[in-house]
Amino acid sequence: MQKAAPECERMAEDCHNFFAPPAIRFSRIPRDHVPDHVNDSTHMTDIPSRKPLEAPSLPADNPMRGFVPHQQLLSCIHCGLCTSSCPTYLETGNENDSPRGRIHLMRGVEEGRIELTATVRGHLDLCLDCRSCETACPSGVKYGQLIETFRVSDREKQTQAGKPAATWFEKLVLHELFPNRHRLERLLWPAWLMQQLGLDWLIEKTGLLRLLPLPLQRMQRMLPRLRKNEPNLPREIRHLGPVRRARVGLFLGCVSDAMFRHVHWATVRVLQHAGCDVLVPDRQQCCGAIEFHSGQRSAATERAKRNLSAFAEFQLDAILVNVAGCGAMLKEYSHLAPCEETDASLHARLQQFAGKVQDINEFLAGLNPGPLQPLPLRVVYQDACHLRHAQQIEREPRHLLRHIPELELLDIPEANICCGAAGSYNLQQPEMSDQLGERKIQWILSRGPEVIATANAGCALQLQALLKQRGLKIPVVHPVELLDASQRGLNREQFLRETG
């Protein structure tokens, strides 16, 4: 872990000493001593929010000015109620790796009191953007917007200063490969073949894998057992039963379509049974989250415009997403082009599009999905941060799973803490990602599940990699796959065989 620079350490310590309760001051919090309120934020609703302070005027010649809207930084009242919900703070115990510390650093940079050194950037880059702190915050601080705006502005300022905008890995893998589902699918085919022939195992055992750059080695290790991909979804799928209850669009995503198309098929079957027509626009694109979160706002905005146009062809009641990360991005499309920085019509169209987006769990919970057959399995549901925190969807998937007769839903401690996947974080911050992954999988395995359910492709990949390391064959599925199996009347053995 990087050591804090003297200036940011001093600033953070001033803040910490003033506000933090002595028990958590700069000490790593042991896993079995996490305060109760980590898993219970309900008590925080009793705390009245304070009126934000007036923004002081910033010196006009401050080169750091304009990183984030200053008024938003001031909405943090430094109470520290978010710190015990922050995965990086739980792991390091360093105030600079907490939401409050990071807000303090961003504000210091914005006000020209703290230089944006590599160390300061290191603390900010270590943030997963999981937004657990937003759920915990009684003052309604929009932390996600703060860190995302900061990263975008930092990247733009670096580009203006003639510094390289992205590393080779970001350019080739994150910007060229991942957002292109057809390209990714073509690349996964030889990987699938290698797995079938056992060559992936041979490459690992002979040490050939070590010839690859580290991020590519990690990608290979994280690759789950690939299924032969299902056929593409047709453009239109009609409802089953006499009455059509809704006409919905399905968002495919990029990695999710290339690696988890079976989840799209399960989603479509469940929607058909629930009386929905499903439209699948073929011109749709990646949501742009990978680019936006690595500071490439204009590239992400271009993708958003193409998605607007692809879905505008159809009259839809809702646009449904079964990947939490994509759903969070689509619901916040209007942040890509804030009204003060763009033409009003684009902003309004982005807002209108975002208003139609719903997560599949959210949509189905409000629409009885139809008769379900018993499926006696012990299931741990793992919350994806971009569902629980970014979209505030926590009860809906649990509600749906509890409706499956004989399915036993198991709770885990620290359900609100990130598993370390966080989009491309597990490739860019491997050390912290591994620590958080270990933390999560230990809690999950302590409940002895037969199946793990999660509603995000990134979490599924992270958990599958952790299980693979341990030689465990526990299926990691989307909740909609359990609903689909129950609707189809699969028994427990059939389900485990199909998903194993």
Query: CA 430 from chain center: how many Å?
Result: 16
CB-nearer residue toward ligand SF4: 143 or 363? 143
Closest distance of CB 86 from ligand SF4, Å: 3
- Does 420 engage in binding with ligand SF4 (CB under 6 A)? no
- Does 437 engage in binding with ligand SF4 (CB under 6 A)? no
Closest distance of CB 3 from ligand SF4, Å: 19
- Does 137 engage in binding with ligand SF4 (CB under 6 A)? yes
Piece of the chain touching ligand SF4 by CB under 6 A; list 28-36, 132-140, 172-180, 354-362: 132-140
Beta bridge partners of 409: 379
CB-nearer residue toward ligand SF4: 142 or 247? 142
The amino acid sitting at 261 is R
The amino acid sitting at 90 is L
Containing 264, the helix (H) or strand (E) segment is helix 261-273
Q: What is the DSSP track for 374-437?
A: ----EEEEEPPHHHHTSS---HHHHHHHHTSTT-EEE--TTTTS--S-TTTHHHHSHHHHHHHH
Piece of the chain touching ligand SF4 by CB under 6 A; list 123-131, 245-253, 358-366, 474-482: 123-131
- Does 77 engage in binding with ligand SF4 (CB under 6 A)? yes
CB-nearer residue toward ligand SF4: 86 or 320? 86
Return the residue of 5, 99, 396, 404 that touches ligand SF4, per CB under 6 A.
99
Closest distance of CB 449 from ligand SF4, Å: 25
Residue 409, CA distances (Å) to 47, 289, 412, 455, 461 in order: 32, 31, 10, 15, 21
- Does 86 engage in binding with ligand SF4 (CB under 6 A)? yes
CB-nearer residue toward ligand SF4: 153 or 307? 153
The amino acid sitting at 5 is A
For 500, how many CA atoms within 13 A lie in the half-sphere containing its CB?
11
CB-nearer residue toward ligand SF4: 268 or 328? 328
- Does 82 engage in binding with ligand SF4 (CB under 6 A)? yes
Piece of the chain touching ligand SF4 by CB under 6 A; list 139-147, 316-324, 406-414, 441-449: 139-147
Return the residue of 102, 273, 293, 335 that touches ligand SF4, per CB under 6 A.
102
Return the residue of 139, 149, 429, 486 that touches ligand SF4, per CB under 6 A.
139
**CA dihedral of 458, 310, 235, 269, whole degrees rounded to 10:** 40
Q: What is the DSSP track for 115-159?
A: ---HHHHHHHHT-----HHHHH-TT---HHHHHHHHHHHHHHHHH
For 401, how many CA atoms within 13 A lie in the half-sphere containing its CB?
28
- Does 269 engage in binding with ligand SF4 (CB under 6 A)? no
**CA dihedral of 341, 342, 343, 344, whole degrees rounded to 10:** -70
Closest distance of CB 72 from ligand SF4, Å: 11
Determine the Cα–Cα distance for residues 131 and 381; give it in Å rounded to an integer: 19
Residue reference for tokens 């304009």: 66
CB-nearer residue toward ligand SF4: 52 or 224? 52
Both tokens assigned to 214 = 């580290």
- Does 80 engage in binding with ligand SF4 (CB under 6 A)? yes
CB-nearer residue toward ligand SF4: 145 or 159? 145
Q: Which residues bind ligand SF4 (CB under 6 A)?
A: 76-82, 85-88, 99-100, 102-103, 127-133, 136-137, 139, 141, 143
